[in-house]
Amino acid sequence: MTATPLPPPQSADAAMLLVLLPPVGTAPQVRVATLAALAALQRELGAAIRVLTVDELSHPVVVRSFHATDLPCFVLMQQGVELLREGGLPEGAGMVPRLLSKLGPAGVVAE
């Protein structure tokens, strides 16, 4: 498996969308499609939100630390503050505006 290139550096205020994935038990073509969809989402979000995948098999402690009951799920965070958490994958036509609407200026959480 080849390494995915890192996105360009972002400001300290950039938010992170952590996508918590189940172990690699899914079909390879589903996994590839999921990663491709997340890469497309990253392109749409630009520098405002960095999309990071966290695989339960590779990083079980990190996944457990979020107390996720079902995988996949995603957690939007900015400066250590959880802004949004949902089950499933971040997909759908309204996802990008919805994620961006949750962001506030440095240190301020949007209501």
Using omega within 30 degrees of 0 as the cis cutoff, is the peptide bond preceding 28 cis? no
- Which residues, other chains included, contact 86 with Cβ-Cβ below 8 Å and sequence gap of 6+? 73, 74
Q: Which CATH number fits domain 15-101: 1.20.120.140, 3.30.2350.10, 3.20.20.70, 3.40.30.10?
A: 3.40.30.10
Q: Please state the rounded mean pLDDT for residues 47-63.
A: 92
Span between the terminal Cα atoms of the chain, in Å: 41
pLDDT for 9 equals 47
pTM above 0.85, yes or no: no
